[in-house]
A and B are shown apart, each in its own frame.
Chain A
């Protein structure tokens, strides 16, 4: 580890690390893409890292980069936990992932549009009718609709993980209201503020065009053909865990940030904003509330967050909604297992980024395997997000496993299982040392008239030693994600 000698790298932790490390090769050398970073870090004085961490935390407090934890009672926001050591990936590798992400979203959108229209994929027996019938996120209210460009999921957050052998897998597709992109942008902002020098040492691709691309993606959905359509971000309000992001994106796009009560649907089926100068028509709504709460006339009648008549306006083509109501049908852990077949069916291509091998509990032989191997598997319910309602087999007590076995037998359609991956790590500043911590990557992919994927994405890291849970709602942190061109270093 000659090269890394001057760094406070936890040698013990690294000797025991069996996972793939994103920055350090098994021999202890930095990976080529990470070399300029390590050269830079090696030049810092010993206590510099901690000083920068302090400065980063102070900046995060001042910038008010927060997220909300429901159980905190009066304390509605917490500072965003951030690790100052970036996660680095080479541009060559990223290019392949970029294409794979876009391939996946094209196929998923064809799939959703098919489900709400002809259902060819069901008729052709590629996708089982019983899975469709059991889907909680299939909205009969959307049957017969083809939104503009045939696209339902305009914004997709795809979670990627890397296994021990270096293979990158898709862990899940978030097609309902994926969040995290604002943290990706703010992480970079904080890094530039604190480590301006390092940005000169290698070619780190910028990430800050996302808000403009998001605006273009949304604007393309406008029913009125004019240059600057009125776009509104619809938020459940200040108590939502992602409120910071809603407000941030509205600010970055120059869009309105609205709550349901700010909107009204007129008798002409158009959606209006209540403004100080009267009613103003809205062209496109980037909604950050779930289908269930979107429109009390169409979905849950008790929703106070939504806008009565919004579905009517959307069906009449008077307003664009992203993601389209009903897009969540493809955001389901059971549907996930079919994605490779979905890609093959619609595009006649093989998936560029593979799925994690998965077992469907609805199929008898696979269920028997799952039930017999619960101690080796992660079991996930079809429709939860944020890491809730999962069984981490190897860590669970036999009592918990028994409880889950019953849940699976009672409702097999609702569960799928995957082997526990040894997901990759990256050096993370823990106390005075850099120790390996597990992480994932959530890039964001846009699709309407054209497609776009973020350069990298949001890296989430499990701050607790050995932990695989990266969700910020459960104590995860994050890192800036660098896509670098080693050739230009």
Chain B
């Protein structure tokens, strides 16, 4: 597998995953908002903080009302992480490696892009059309994953796809709990029911509500949510599970020593944190640590697989003999 192609595959998947995660985040949050007491206002800019684009948002928009936040997250092509931009990037990336994917996957990614070009504007026509369009984005993305799982050899290309998906997923899950706990944990005990609702929103945004209730508790408590979303080994969107998946990808890839070490270090540090008892003051720092570890994994993967030969030919010969 060419280094350039591996890198494009990895980013194509990250963009697709990011688009799906953003769609889930918006749909999950929108559901919960409906259950808030009348008169309670929801801070839609929380979603901007989740994706970490506060500065970019405020440069482009005056008010962080629902409409602006939605435009920014879904439609705005000036935001490289908006759903429409992500799908466009994914499609452009896919062009550069159509030969390594099953032919049909290009058609589906292209069709998703065409669908959004046509229907994305409907997301500004109210919550119902927004829900429908985003739900279709999720469905179509899932069908692409299904297609790859069902019709692609578990070759190197597949491993880079899986790697990109899991690193993006772990990143998004960490961000979601980080922002929500900053907002919600200090309020715990005051307005129990409302806060519980908002934590449910966090779980819904990760499509984790049902599995949390089944495997953890019927009550939604902040610290238990953290413990679940970060450390549960079995739910597919937790950080722990994503790290395990990355580990299995790397084991299947050649020359994996350095990136594999980064994954194992990250997991070891993560499992040492006890979120159910952690002091509020230490939490943010711990989560920053998790995000930094994910960043280090990305760096290690890039260095090992994507940019190893950005040298002159003579240096390259030397590198080869090492």
Contact = CB atoms under 8 A, between A and B. Distances in A.
A386 to B, nearest CB: 22
B107 interface: yes
A278 B2 contact: no
Contact of B6 (A255, A276, A309): A276
B92 A62 contact: no
A482 B317 CA distance: 52
Nearest to B103: A251
B103 A61 contact: no
A460 B306 CA distance: 41
Contacts of A256: 2, 99
Nearest to B100: A251
Given A267-B317, A278-B320, A247 B95 contact: yes
Given A250-B99, A279-B320, A264 B313 contact: yes
Contacts of B308: 274
Interface string B109-122: 01100100000000
B213 interface: no
A279 B103 CA distance: 27
B254 interface: yes
Contacts of B274: none
Nearest to A77: B95
A238 B255 contact: no
B4 A243 contact: no
Contacts of A254: 99
A-side interface mostly = mixed
A250 B2 CA distance: 13
Given A257-B97, A261-B4, A64 B107 contact: yes
Contacts of A132: none
Interface string B94-134: 01111100010011001100100000000000000000000
Given A264-B309, A267-B317, A258 B110 contact: no
A421 B84 CA distance: 50
A251 B98 contact: yes
Interface residues of A, number: 31
Contacts of A262: 2-4
Given A255-B99, A257-B97, A267-B317, A275 B107 contact: no
Given A63-B107, A64-B106, A266-B313, A274 B97 contact: no
B283 to A, nearest CB: 37
B99 A62 contact: no
Nearest to B98: A247
B156 interface: yes
B-side interface mostly = helix
A278 B255 contact: yes
B96 to A, nearest CB: 6
A233 B309 CA distance: 20
Nearest to B159: A276
Given A264-B313, A266-B317, A275 B99 contact: no
A265 interface: yes
A248 interface: yes
A422 to B, nearest CB: 40
A259 interface: yes
A243 B2 contact: no
A279 B320 CA distance: 8
A273 B255 CA distance: 17
Interface string A255-291: 1111101101111000001111111000000000000
A278 B304 CA distance: 10
B96 A238 contact: yes
B124 to A, nearest CB: 23
B2 A64 contact: no
B161 to A, nearest CB: 13
Pick the most buried of A62, A64, A238, A248: most chain B CB atoms within 10 A of its CB. A64
B33 to A, nearest CB: 36
Contacts of B254: 276-278
B275 interface: no
B103 A274 contact: no
Nearest to B91: A64
Pick the most buried of A62, A63, A275: most chain B CB atoms within 10 A of its CB. A275
Contacts of A255: 99
B92 A238 contact: yes
Contact of B99 (A63, A247, A267): A247
A64 B305 contact: no
B32 interface: no
Interface in B298-322: 305-306, 308-309, 313-314, 316-317, 320
Contacts of B98: 247-248, 251, 257
Interface in B1-23: 1-6
A250 B96 CA distance: 11
A261 B253 CA distance: 23
Contacts of B306: 276
B156 A62 contact: no
B213 to A, nearest CB: 40
B3 A276 contact: yes
Contact of B110 (A62, A247, A273, A279): A62
Interface in B118-168: 156, 160
Given A243-B95, A248-B98, A275 B3 contact: yes
Interface of B: 1-6, 92, 95-99, 103, 106-107, 110-111, 114, 156, 160, 253-255, 305-306, 308-309, 313-314, 316-317, 320
Given A262-B2, A276-B255, A277-B253, 18 more contacts: A62-B110, A64-B95, A238-B96, A247-B95, A256-B99, A261-B4, A266-B313, A266-B316, A266-B317, A267-B313, A275-B2, A275-B3, A276-B3, A276-B6, A276-B156, A276-B160, A277-B255, A279-B316
24 contacts: A61-B114, A62-B110, A63-B110, A64-B95, A238-B96, A247-B98, A257-B5, A257-B97, A257-B99, A261-B4, A274-B2, A275-B1, A276-B3, A276-B6, A276-B156, A276-B160, A276-B253, A277-B1, A277-B156, A277-B255, A278-B254, A279-B309, A279-B320, A308-B313
Q: Which 6 A-B pairs have the closest CB atoms?
A: A251-B99, A277-B254, A250-B99, A274-B309, A276-B305, A64-B110
Interface of A: 61-64, 238, 243, 247-248, 250-251, 254-259, 261-262, 264-267, 273-279, 308-309
